Amino acid sequence: MRKIVFILFLLLSLLTACVQKEIKAYDDTDIDEFNKVLDNVGNGKTKAYDLREYDECYNGRIPGFYCSRVYQSENKKEDLDKIIDNLKLLLGDKKRTMIILMDNNDGNAAVVAQELFISGYKNIHYFKNGYDRYVELQPDFVPEAGDCDCWNKKLNCLDFYTKLMYNT
């Protein structure tokens, strides 16, 4: 009986360890690994959010990323809190969804990642040196610009913006 309990405990521990993930922050030396993570963007199971100011994101972002700053106020902390609340609303109970964040090397991605992790999301990735540095490290990089191209990526923009605007 003790053997069975020990084996069950060991299996449960292994399963729990497999599910537990941390926040993964990438820097210049991890660029190839980060690019492999970016290969998941657009697969329908990965959510990618650009945390920069809306105008910056609109003018150029990593293809497949959403501009998450649809609100703007004088209070940057309030803006970030709203983004975090919106992301939690959009992600719902899908705690294992791969989440990729990009910022301006201003620490916003780390803050958002930590808040999402505290809320139970376990598969969070971000490039800690910011969008501009990421672009510098990609000689053939072609940004996506303008409005969200959700329809071509099998994402539902209407649901995205409806949830943001009406908290449904």
> What is the arrangement of strands in the sheet containing 23-26, beginning at the earlier edge strand?
23-26, 124-127, 98-102, 46-50, 66-67
pTM, two decimals, is: 0.78
For 104-117, what is each residue's pLDDT tens digit?
Answer: 999 999 999 999 99
Q: What's the CATH fold of domain 22-166?
A: Oxidized Rhodanese; domain 1 (3.40.250)
Average pLDDT, stretch 108-128?
A: 96
Q: Which residue has the higher pLDDT, 105 or 165?
A: 105
Closest CA to 51 of 36, 34, 71: 71
